[in-house]
Amino acid sequence: MFAEKEGGPAFPAQDFRTDEKGIIHAIGIHGMTLRDYMAGQALVGLLSGYNGPNSPFHEHHPSLAENCFKIADAMIAARGDK
């Protein structure tokens, strides 16, 4: 299952299985976490200002990914228990 700090699933999908009697059972939910989705959206926003080789994002910056997850964590925290 998803940890609370992950915000739950962003696009949940239910898994099912059929038992030997042909009865269908729901067995779990999977999908991207809300935290991953929000971090990806933050990355899109940050990179929207990319302007080629002169951009600060031209080279790989580990801090960029870290900052995206910090933004996602802040957005999840701002949601409260909603």
Cβ contacts of residue 25 below 8 Å, gap of 6+?
A: 16, 17, 18, 19
Tokens 């031209």 sit at which residue? 58
Which pLDDT score, from 0 to 100, does residue 24 have?
87
Total domains in the chain come to 1
Which pLDDT score, from 0 to 100, does residue 57 have?
62
Please, which residues bridge with residue 15 across strands? 28
In 3-state terms, what secondary structure has residue 58? coil
Residue 24 belongs to domain spanning: 4-79
Per-residue model confidence as pLDDT tens digits over 5-36: 777 777 777 788 898 999 888 877 777 888 98
Which pLDDT score, from 0 to 100, does residue 1 have?
47
pTM over 0.75: no
